[in-house]
C-alpha cells in the first residue's frame, strides 16, 4: 500500500494540508478520516481519468486539434461566458481571467440564483483565519449551514473536540449532521432569517423588537442568544448560501455584517463564509485583483464591469467551463463541443489554492500525470487566439 503525504486535500474549501493518503489497488484510506476527502482522492487516483486527452463533438482528438477548434469557436463567439472554476488553482484562474479579458467575456464565479450582489462593499465585514477562530472563539454560531456534510473537518479545525469550553449554536430548521453536534439549536423557517438578524441587532443595542412576529415567537431564545454572545470576549458566525443565497441574500448578508459590527464594539466578533464549491475562493480572489471587482464580472465593454444584475446568460452563445481534474475544460457552443482533459490539481499537478478563509496553500502532486493543467490549456488557447 502506497503511503503519500502529508498532502493538501482540495476536496472542499478547507484545504486540509495534513492528510496522509494510503492507496492500494482496492482501497484508499485517508488519515485523518474524511468522507469527502476520501471520495475526492479516490476519483482522482483511481485511473478513471484514463482515456482520450481531448474530444471534439464527443470523438477522441489530439490536444492541438481540440485547441484549434476551441479557439475557432471562441473567436466566433458573440457573447462568450467563462465559468465553472471547479477545483481550480490560482494559476488556472489567472489564465482563465486573462482569456476572458482577451475575449471580452462574461466571467461567473457565482452561478447561484441572483442575491442582489455582494454585501461586503456596502458596509464591510469582520473575518478571521481558522487558527484565530480555533484559538480565540468561545462561541460559534453556524447559520443554516451543514459543514459536517460539506466541510467535514471544519468543527475539528476550529477547535471543537479539543481543549477548552466552547459552545456551538446552530440555527437551522432542517435536521442535519451539524445540528446533531449543536449545544444549542435554534430553528425558524428560512424566510424569517432577515427578521431574526434585525431582532438580534436591536436586542444587542438594547432596543425592544416589535412585539409580534418572530420576536414574539422566540421571546426567550433570541434574547438568550444575545446574552450568550455578550458573555464571551470572542465569537464567530459561520454562514454561506444557506443564509445569503438566492433572492434577498444581499440584504441578509448585510444584516449579518451589521450585527457583527455592532457586537464588535464590546468584543471581538468575526465571520467565516463557507464557499459553494472548492476553487471558488481562488477564482474570486484572482478575479478581484485582475479586474478590481469581487463578484461576477463582464469584460464585454473592453474593460471589467461588475455585474449588478443577474448575468444575461440568455445572450451567451459559447461557454468555456474551466475546471481542474476529471471534468476537464470544455468549450460548448451552437456548432459543437470541445473537451480537453486537465490534470487534477492536488493529485496530478501542484499549484496554489486559497482556503475558504483566504489563506493561500500549496497543492502537491502525489501522483503526477501527463495531462496539462487547466492553466496550461487556457494559456495555449490564448496563444491560439492571439495567433
Partner 1 sequence: MTSIRITGGAVHDPANHVDGEIRDVCLKDGKVVDDVASDARRIDARGMVVMPGGVDIHAHIAGPKVNAARKLTLDERRGDPVDRTSLLRSGTGGLVPSTFTTGYRYSLLGYTTVVEAAAPPLAARHVLSELRDTPMIDKAFLLLMGNNQVLFELIRESGGAVSPRLRDAVAWWLDATGGYGVKLVNPGGVELWKQDNGNVHSLDDHVAGFEVTPRQVLEAIGGAVDELGLPHPVHVHANNLGVPGNADTTLDTMRTLSGRQAHFAHLQFHCYGGKPDGLPRSRAPELLEWLASHPETTADVGQVMFGPAVTMTADGPVAAMLRDLGADKWLNHDTEVETGCGIVPYRYRASNYVHALQWGIGLELFLLGKDPWQVMLSTDHPNGGSFLSYPKLIRLLMDRAFREDQMGRANQRAIRRTALFDGLDREYSLNEIAIITRAAPARRLGLRDKGHLGVGADADVTVYHDRADREEMFATPRYVIKGGEVVVEEGELRRVDDGVLLSSHAGFDSEVSGVLEPLFGDRYTVAFQHYPVRDPALREPARVVEARVS
Q: Which residues bind partner 1 (CB under 8 A)?
A: 6, 8, 17-18, 90-91, 94, 98, 101-102, 118, 120-132, 134-136, 157, 233-234, 261, 264-268, 270, 285-286, 288-295, 299, 301-306, 350, 352, 354, 358-362
**Residue with Cβ nearer partner 1 (129 or 167):** 129
Work out how close the CB of 127 gets to partner 1 at its nearest, in angstroms, rounded to a whole number. Answer: 5
Q: Are 305 and 311 in contact (CB under 8 A)?
A: no
What is the spatial distance between Cα 208 and Cα 335, in angstroms, rounded to a whole number? Answer: 62
**Residue with Cβ nearer partner 1 (115 or 290):** 290
Q: Minimal CA–CA distance to 137: which of 109, 160, 161, 111?
A: 160
Work out how close the CB of 341 gets to partner 1 at its nearest, in angstroms, rounded to a whole number. Answer: 22
**Residue with Cβ nearer partner 1 (293 or 339):** 293
Work out how close the CB of 7 gets to partner 1 at its nearest, in angstroms, rounded to a whole number. Answer: 9
**Residue with Cβ nearer partner 1 (49 or 291):** 291
What is the spatial distance between Cα 151 and Cα 15, in angstroms, rounded to a whole number? Answer: 10
Residue 308's CB is within 10 A of a number of other CB atoms, namely: 11
Give every CB contact of residue 127 below 8 A, 6+ residues apart in sequence: 270, 271, 272, 273, 357, 358
What is the spatial distance between Cα 62 and Cα 55, in angstroms, rounded to a whole number? Answer: 8
Work out how close the CB of 13 gets to partner 1 at its nearest, in angstroms, rounded to a whole number. Answer: 13
Work out how close the CB of 229 gets to partner 1 at its nearest, in angstroms, rounded to a whole number. Answer: 14
Compute the C-alpha angle 82/88/93, nearest 5°. Answer: 50
**Residue with Cβ nearer partner 1 (75 or 210):** 75
**Residue with Cβ nearer partner 1 (112 or 131):** 131
What is the spatial distance between Cα 103 and Cα 347, in angstroms, rounded to a whole number? Answer: 30
Strands 336-340 and 54-56: antiparallel
* Cell numbers placing 292: 478590481
Work out how close the CB of 61 gets to partner 1 at its nearest, in angstroms, rounded to a whole number. Answer: 29
Amino acid at each position: 500500500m502506497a503511503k503519500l503525504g502529508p498532502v493538501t486535500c482540495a476536496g472542499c474549501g478547507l484545504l486540509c494540508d495534513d492528510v496522509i493518503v494510503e492507496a492500494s489497488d482496492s482501497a484508499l484510506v485517508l488519515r485523518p478520516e474524511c468522507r469527502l476527502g476520501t471520495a475526492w482522492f479516490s476519483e482522482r487516483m483511481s485511473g478513471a481519468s484514463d482515456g482520450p486527452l481531448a474530444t471534439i463533438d464527443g470523438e477522441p482528438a489530439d490536444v492541438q486539434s481540440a485547441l484549434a477548434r476551441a479557439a475557432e469557436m471562441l473567436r466566433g463567439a458573440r457573447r462568450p461566458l467563462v465559468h465553472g472554476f471547479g477545483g481550480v488553482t490560482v494559476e488556472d484562474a489567472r489564465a482563465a481571467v486573462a482569456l476572458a479579458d482577451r475575449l471580452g467575456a462574461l466571467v461567473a464565479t457565482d452561478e447561484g440564483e441572483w442575491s442582489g450582489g455582494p454585501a461586503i462593499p456596502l458596509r464591510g465585514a469582520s473575518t478571521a483565519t481558522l487558527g484565530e477562530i480555533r484559538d480565540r472563539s468561545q462561541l460559534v454560531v453556524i447559520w443554516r449551514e451543514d459543514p459536517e456534510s460539506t466541510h467535514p473537518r471544519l468543527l475539528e479545525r476550529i477547535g471543537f473536540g479539543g481543549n477548552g469550553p466552547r459552545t456551538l449554536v446552530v440555527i437551522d430548521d432542517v435536521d442535519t449532521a451539524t445540528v446533531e453536534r449543536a449545544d444549542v439549536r435554534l430553528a425558524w423557517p428560512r424566510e424569517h432569517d432577515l427578521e431574526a438578524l434585525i431582532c438580534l441587532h436591536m436586542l444587542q443595542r438594547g432596543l425592544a423588537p416589535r412585539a409580534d412576529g418572530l420576536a414574539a415567537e422566540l421571546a426567550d431564545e433570541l434574547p438568550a442568544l444575545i446574552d450568550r454572545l455578550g458573555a464571551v470576549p470572542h465569537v464567530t458566525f459561520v454562514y454561506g448560501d444557506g443564509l445569503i443565497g438566492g433572492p434577498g441574500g444581499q440584504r441578509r448578508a448585510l444584516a449579518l455584517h451589521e450585527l457583527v459590527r455592532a457586537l464588535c464594539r464590546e468584543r471581538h466578533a468575526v465571520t467565516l463564509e463557507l464557499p459553494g464549491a472548492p476553487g471558488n475562493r481562488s477564482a474570486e480572489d484572482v478575479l478581484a485583483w485582475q479586474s478590481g471587482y469581487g463578484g461576477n464580472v463582464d469584460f464585454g465593454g473592453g474593460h471589467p464591469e461588475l455585474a449588478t444584475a443577474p448575468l444575461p446568460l440568455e445572450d451567451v452563445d459559447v461557454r468555456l467551463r474551466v475546471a481542474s481534474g476529471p471534468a476537464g475544460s470544455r468549450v460548448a457552443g451552437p456548432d459543437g463541443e470541445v473537451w480537453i482533459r486537465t490534470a487534477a490539481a492536488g493529485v496530478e499537478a501542484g499549484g496554489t489554492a486559497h482556503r475558504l478563509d483566504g489563506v493561500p496553500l500549496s497543492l502537491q502532486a502525489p501522483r503526477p500525470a501527463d495531462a496539462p493543467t487547466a492553466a496550461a490549456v487556457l494559456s495555449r488557447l490564448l496563444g491560439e487566439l492571439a495567433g
